Structure 1
Amino acid sequence: MKHSVDRSSLGFWSEKEMRLEAAHFLDQVDGVLKKKLKQVTPFLSFAMREWAEAVLRKEHLSFRTEGGFPEAERVRIIVGPWGETLDPTDADISLLWVHPSDSRAQLEHRQILGSLMGLGFKRDVLGDIQAGQRGFYIATTAEIASFLLDHWIQAGREKIEVSLYCEKPDVYPDLGEESRITVNSSRIDALIANAFGVARSNALEWITQGKVRRDGLVVSKAEAEVRPGDIISCRGQGRIKFLECSQTRKERTAWKIVLFRSQRH
């Protein structure tokens, strides 16, 4: 019988919650290695997805990612023995469409996510939440979709209508604002403050509260340096993609960035 997957990689995660999520994933990998049965992960964050894919490549297993949307940020991974054909329907993802009952009302992303969490669901059964015309598309595990269709009736103060969506979602394009910012240093707190147009103390507070992530991982140090190619997300604000940097004549650092205002999680 195939031995268990190497667990030393769990040392990559310092946060207890992330380590537990990673340990559960390794349990699923063991199931594939020992029983030769396909497994499907919960919805994974970008950082967990990259780590998981590295484990799967090391173990020489077949896998494919599905998120319900093209280029989804949160995905489920279907895992099978090497060489096995994996069907996208094995991901068991349902796409829901939600809009306010009152045609004059508007919903916000935070109302959607907050009401879902208020119903007792964990984040791992929910994929991306993307804005469309007058409402939102939400990727969920198929097992909770029927409950939401029957019992999810309100988001924030707004009464809502929820339906199963079986066609290609007509989401708003995730277009960012490309710009150039100039800073004294490439510390993450300075760059966040400049990009979002807030005081540096606000950026520091977001970091202290655990709201800032670099490529999916929580940033704990305000003095952390940003590198070209980094994607920094600030919960409730949006995310920044750092393209390239250069020095100005006045010995400041100029960054070319793309800013995505918060529309989804």
Structure 2
Amino acid sequence: MKHRIDRHVLSFWQDKEMRLEAAHLLDLTEEAMRKQLAVRTPFLGLGLAQWFERVLQKESLSYQARGGFPDAERVCYFLGQNTESLEYLPEGITLLAVVSTDPHVNLEHRQILGSLMGLGLKRELVGDIRPGVQGMIVAVVDEITDYLLLEWCKAGRVNIRVERVQGDLMLREDPGEERRITVSSSRIDAIAAAGFNVARGVVQEWVRQGKIKRNDLIISKPDLEVKSGDIISCRGQGRLRLCEAGETRKGRIGWSIILYRIQKR
């Protein structure tokens, strides 16, 4: 079958698995163009989403990004021939409230995600996982909602209760900690070391262990350059949102960042 979209755009991805994910997105895009039907993608992390939006804009295809939360980081894309065809589509995403049945036990992000993967679900079916006023709030695609309501009863060793979110969305506020850091370069190891207040060698070891992500993509090189708007996350440490950068009087780089620590209650 002849492709309508130039597949050379896939050369952006060096990682084989990421290239396969990107190729699937191109297939979905061509399906929307060929059949003139609305199509929904899986949940995409920030890095893949940014790449995909550039493709959609080049092809002049209408789209909407939805993640269930007003400021979702992981989103699904709804593709169509025009904006009118997307306005009346069902939301396609359900928010689930997950609460421990023991009031003395608090749930964490890793427990929620681990238990979902333990049910055999793919990560692409699950969006953001946010702390609610009570328990955690999880965005999932509609197709797995009924299954989770029936079968999802444990997060690790913790018994849980799962319900659809009804009414206003009640999230636990996490404004993060605004910080100013000064670094010699905008390499990811330098930024992460200053942001998480650890030695640069520690960050380089985290990179080797596959713990560091930029825009939801695992990185393999500590000298990767970052830019404003990027999100750097480290398993077990939290995440950094990079805001603005500017040169200092001594020729170094000053960054405004927001630090989000791992939440423990």
**Is TM-score (shorter-chain normalized) higher than 0.5?**
yes
Task: Specify the code of the residue in structure 1 equivalent to 2:20.
Answer: L
Q: How many residues align?
A: 261
| Whole-Å separation in 1 of the counterparts to 2:234 and 2:66 | 24
Distance 1:27 1:172 in 2: 38
1:230 deviates by 3.6
Normalising by the residue count of structure 1, what TM-score does the alignment of the two structures yield?
Answer: 0.89
Listed as ranges, the gaps of 5+ residues in structure 2 are none
The answer as to whether partners of 1:40 and 1:90 remain within 8 angstroms in 2 is: no
Shift of 1:163: 0.6
Alpha-carbon separation, structure 2, partners of 1:207 and 1:224: 11
Matches within 5 A, 1:175-254: 175-242=175-242, 243-249=244-250, 252-254=252-254
**Residue 25 (structure 2) pairs with residue 25 (structure 1):** yes
State the alpha-carbon separation in 2 of the partners of residues 171 and 151 from structure 1: 24
- CA 1:230 to 1:124, structure 2 compared with 1: closer, same or farther past 3 Å? closer
2:100 is aligned to: 100
Please state if 1:161 is matched with 2:177.
no
Q: Deviations over 1:47-71 (max 9, x none)?
A: 1111112111222211111111001
Paired residues of 1:77 and 1:91 also in contact (CA < 8 A): no
Give the Cα–Cα distance (whole angstroms) in 1 for the partners of residues 216 and 210 of structure 2: 12
> Is the partner of 1:70 in helix, strand or coil?
coil
Task: Report what 1:120 is aligned to.
Answer: 120
Is residue 244–residue 257 contact of structure 1 (8 Å, CA) maintained in 2?
A: no
Q: How far does residue 22 in structure 1 lie from its aligned partner after superposition?
A: 1.0
- 2:45 touches 2:215 (CA, 8 Å); kept in 1? no
Question: What is the CA distance between 1:89 and its match in structure 2?
Answer: 4.5
Matches within 5 A, 1:25-104: 25-87=25-87, 89-104=89-104
The answer for unaligned runs of 5 or more in structure 1 is: none
* 3-state SS of 2:124 partner: helix
Cα deviations by residue, 1:214-234 (Å, 9 ceiling, x for unpaired) = 334433222334444443222
Q: 1:123-181 deviations in whole A, cap 9, x for unaligned?
A: 00001001011300100011111111111111122111111113231112331211222
Matched letter for residue 125 of structure 1: L
The 2-side partners of 1:212 and 1:131 are apart by: 22
Give me the TM-score of the superposition, normalised by structure 2: 0.89
Whether the aligned pair in 2 keeps the contact of 1:183 and 1:253 (CA below 8 Å) is yes
Answer with 76-85 or 97-106: which moved more: 76-85
SS at match of 1:90: coil
Deviates more, 1:209-218 or 1:29-38: 209-218
CA 10–20 in structure 1, closer or farther in 2 if over 3 Å, else same = same
Counterpart CA distance in 1 for 2:185 and 2:32 is 47
Q: Could you tell me how far apart the structure 1 residues matched to 2:145 and 2:200 are?
A: 42
For the structure 1 residues 18 and 163, does the alpha-carbon distance in structure 2 shift closer, same or farther, using more than 3 Å as the test?
Answer: same
182-191 or 115-124, larger mean C-alpha shift = 182-191
The separation in 1 between residues aligned to 2:95 and 2:35, in whole angstroms, is 31
Within 1, Cα distance between the matches of 2:221 and 2:3? 39
Over the aligned positions, Cα root-mean-square deviation in angstroms equals 2.1
Whole-Å Cα distance in 2 between the matches of residues 83 and 224 of structure 1?
Answer: 37
- 1:197-238 per-position Cα deviation (integer Å, ceiling 9, x unaligned): 223332112211233233344332223344444432223322
